[in-house]
Structure 1
Amino acid sequence: MKKIILILSIIVLAGCKSKKIDTPIVEEVTTVKLAINEVSTFQKDRAYNLGKRILMTCNTSKFKPFTESEATRSVINNITLEKLSKTCTKYRQWYGDFKDLQLMEIYKDINKSTTIFRYKALYTKKVANKELRVYINEENKISAIKSMDWVDLFERK
């Protein structure tokens, strides 16, 4: 009987071992919203023109590739006429022709030293609610471009 109580006690103690509680890691805020007039006109114009150049490809089917002075090597390698054509086919079918970009917000990513321009992409169909993000690095080159559904609240993706 004592052996059974001892074995049950050991089983209960083993079953009740303390578990490590996972505490959520709080991310340090690295993105700061900037006033539109805080950013140089050169950067705003560059982001607008290069972003518009990509989306205008959907209307014209002609794309002038980025140069080394406009974009980083990874962006130049990733944006090709073939890739743009696939995306443009879907976008034209769903949203209609591309009209223009409307600058909504500008953010500064402190860790990566990039400026993020959030544009609302305007299309002929009213159902279109798209966003174009243009990332400009400290050398004033495009370091990334993302297209996604528009959400009013800025989310890092």
Structure 2
Amino acid sequence: MKKTIIILSLLILVGCKSKKAQVILPEEPTIEKFALSEVDSNLKNKAYELGKRMLMTCNTSKFKPYDESEATASVINNITEERLSKTCAKYRQRYGTFKDLQLVEIFKNNIERTTIFRYKALYTKKIANKELRVFMNEENKLSSLKTLDWIDLYDNLIIEN
């Protein structure tokens, strides 16, 4: 009886062997890089102004909140003057006064349907080496802002909001 149960258990295990999942690759690339001249200048200007407005808060201590025509509800709710003032205090101490943004690269995330503008943030202190990513959705609204340490080679294809 025990042998029969063991044999049946083995047969069930062998019969339940899972099939390998078939991976279907998307037809279009997940992340596309655009030449700076390929993207509409109005969209580039809008992304620049929205990103610069946030970083200029560190210099002026006055933040004009984003409205519904410029940004998504999550951005409007998450970027508050209190949060910005905490971040700005750290940034001013480490990097000095914010000067400007320099557009370096533009990417399109085809899965999330966002356009990512990658800016080098320029500060008065020479050690400042920061990046600002401005994410614009299909409606050309600001969907996310992200600051990171600058890296020259952009090989991180996983772009998180």
TM-score of Structure 1 vs Structure 2, range by shorter chain: 0.7 to 0.9
Counterpart Cα distance in 1 of 2:96 and 2:103: 20
What is the correspondence of 1:42-121 to structure 2 with a 5 Å cutoff? Answer: 42-121=42-121
Q: Which residue of 1 aligns with 2:153?
A: 153
In structure 1, how many angstroms separate the alpha carbons of the residues matched to 2:40 and 2:114?
14
The aligned length equals: 134
TM-score normalised over the length of structure 2? 0.79
Q: Secondary structure at the match of 1:44?
A: helix
Structure with higher Rg: it is 1
| Cα distance in 2 between the residues matched to 1:31 and 1:69 | 26
* Secondary structure at the counterpart of residue 84 of structure 2: helix
Runs of 4+ in 1 over 6 A off after TM superposition: none
Q: What is the match of residue 40 of structure 2?
A: 40
Question: Residue type matched to 1:125 in 2?
Answer: K
- Unaligned residue ranges in structure 1 (runs of 5+): 1-24
Q: List per-residue Cα deviations over 1:19-74 (Å, max 9, x = no partner).
A: xxxxxx8x864111001111101110000000000000000000000000000000
Task: For 2:114 and 2:78, locate their aligned partners in 1 and report how far apart those are by CA, in whole Å.
Answer: 19
> Equivalent residue for 1:127?
127
Report the secondary structure of 2:71's partner residue. Answer: coil
